[in-house]
Structure 1
Amino acid sequence: MARTNSDDLLMEDDLAAAFLGGDEELAAPVETEEEVVAVEEETPESSEPVEDEWENTDDFPGQLAVDVYETADKLVVKARTAGISKSDLDVSISDNILTISGVLSGGEDEQTTRWHIQECYWGEFSRTIALPVQVREDENSVKAELKDGVLTITFEKEKTEAPKKIAIQ
């Protein structure tokens, strides 16, 4: 989550919706301008920094951004995974459902006393994708490569027969 003391950056709910893929049932309801003003009026002005009351996001792993496209005989999934080692990634497929998960470590410094801005996501992440076309799931038909911070997974598409016309009698 982005943490800041500035009002011009995205609100926490906007970021949560972005990380959670815009699921309406998971995103918090949008506050009206009157509700925001009422909360601002209730907040005491002081020179002391007020500790932010951020939601506990440990229950929601971060979302991984992906690109999915196909060629004549392949389906390709690319994900930005900068800063993640191969040993911290887990990629699996079952019934044409691809899951990419892992851990991005290194965001916490024990000597930190107060955050001013925290926009980088650190911790667990996961992404599950229903692939748009049937792919072969055997080990010889799937290739995963991590290079320059980009995970590329290439699947051979399942050869399907053209639909057959059924005569109606």
Structure 2
Amino acid sequence: MPKDKNLINKLMGTQTITEDDDAELGAISDEAEEKDQAPTASSEDWLSEYEGQLTIDMFQTKDNVIIKSTIAGVRPEDIDVTIANDMVTIRGERKRDFEASSEDYFYQECYWGSFSRSVVLPVDVDIEQVSADLKDGILTVILPKAAKAKAKKVKVGTRV
């Protein structure tokens, strides 16, 4: 029970914190600060191995499945849209058009490098009619829904 009383005293500030306690709190604080820091130019090595994940909106109309994504700073020829089976994949690369040393940065939050996103299509699409365009930094992929197979009623007969 003395330990509980000791803890209560520490929390209430009625007991002096020892050097060991202070060192432990300092280590916890340092670890929290390290985890809270955003990547900087000095951490570019691990960023070059990382492939960014593209954010998308995917919705449907009566006739189409539509995918929209913000892809600012990327040229259309640097974007690849592939459809295989029931999956659509969008790949690209945002290329840096400037040089800056890590010491020159105040903030470095933009992602530069390869990115991709693959999603399963919720319905069958007509891959021959798919279109994609990039306007004002917004990629729009239009995937026309496949014509549904017409139902045919089969009459059941009897055998003699």
TM-score range normalised by the length of the shorter chain: 0.5 to 0.7
Partner of 2:54: 64
TM-score of the superposition, structure 2-length normalised? 0.64
Partner of 2:138: 150
Residue 136 of structure 2 aligns with an amino acid whose one-letter code is D
Partner of 2:93: 103
Q: Which structure 2 residue ranges, 5 or more long, are not aligned?
A: 1-23, 33-39, 154-160
Distance in 1 of aligned mates of 2:102 and 2:42 = 18
Q: Is the 8 A contact 2:92 2:115 kept in 1?
A: yes
Distance in 2 of aligned mates of 1:157 and 1:133 = 7
Q: Secondary structure at the match of 2:49?
A: coil
Q: Secondary structure at the match of 1:135?
A: coil
Quick check: 1:115 aligned with 2:128?
no
Partner of 2:7: none
- Mark the CA change 1:97 to 1:80 in structure 2 (over 3 Å): closer, same or farther: same
Q: Is the 8 A contact 1:98 1:128 kept in 2?
A: yes
TM-score of the superposition, structure 1-length normalised? 0.61
Q: Secondary structure at the match of 1:100?
A: strand
Across the aligned residues of Structure 1 and Structure 2, the Cα RMSD in angstroms comes to 3.4
Superposition pairs of residues 5-20 of structure 1, within 5 angstroms: none
Q: Secondary structure at the match of 2:73?
A: coil
Specify which structure has the higher proportion of helix: 2
Task: Count matched residues.
Answer: 124
Q: Secondary structure at the match of 1:79?
A: strand
Deviation at 1:122, TM superposition (A): 0.6
